[in-house]
Amino acid sequence: MSPGATVLDRFRLKSPIGELMGYVRDGALCALDFGDRDESNRAVRERRFGVIDVREAAAALEAQRRLEAYLAGDLDALDAITVDPGGTEFQARVWAALRRIPPGRTISYTELAATVGSPAAVRAVGTANGQNPVPVVIPCHRVVRSDGTLGGYGGGLDRKRWLLDHEKARRAERGHPLLRG
């Protein structure tokens, strides 16, 4: 271990949307990457934490288990994952609002901007959404364009579509109504 380094406990999870790499610090999920983006996002983690020592550790298993449960159909499993995404005060407001969007539902960037009390900051909300270091758990995939089309997603539109379809199908199985389809 490097002296003064931040220790991040990592887990790897094979999923229908590709390999997920999660990073836990002090019991909170601080980063989640798609395996094909993990290396490119390393610089983001290093900017936040400085020198990092990564270890495969049991401390990350709880977040991994809850993600596995979500992917298996327990949409509420993500709510129990403690997150520490860092970020600015504005980003924290956006990311907290994202966590309040129920699974299987979507809102527009315009609606999200109004929700965080900054109705004119649609572009800033989009930027914060795109800089989310804990996708899936902080469900940035639930934000769509005003016309209902998917828009962008850092993990790719196929992953965004899969996540939304997964949530809608599970909600339908449980008989929950959807706001948008």
Q: What is the C-alpha to C-alpha distance for residues 140 and 3, in angstroms, rounded to an integer?
A: 35
30 tagged catalytic: no
Q: What's the sign of the alpha-carbon dihedral 131, 136, 140, 141?
A: positive
Question: One of 29, 31, 140, 163 is an active-site residue; which one?
Answer: 140
Closest CA to 141 of 164, 165, 174, 111: 164
HEC-encoded secondary structure of 98-140 = HHCCCCCCCEEHHHHHHHCCCCCCHHHHHHHHHCCCCCCCCCH
Do the Cβ atoms of 156 and 37 come closer than 8 Å?
Answer: no
- Cβ atoms of residues 181 and 142 within 8 Å: no
Q: What DSSP assignment string belongs to 152-174?
A: --TT-HHHHHHHHHHHHHHHHHT
d(CA 161, CA 18): 14
Instruction: Write out the catalytic residue numbers.
Output: 140
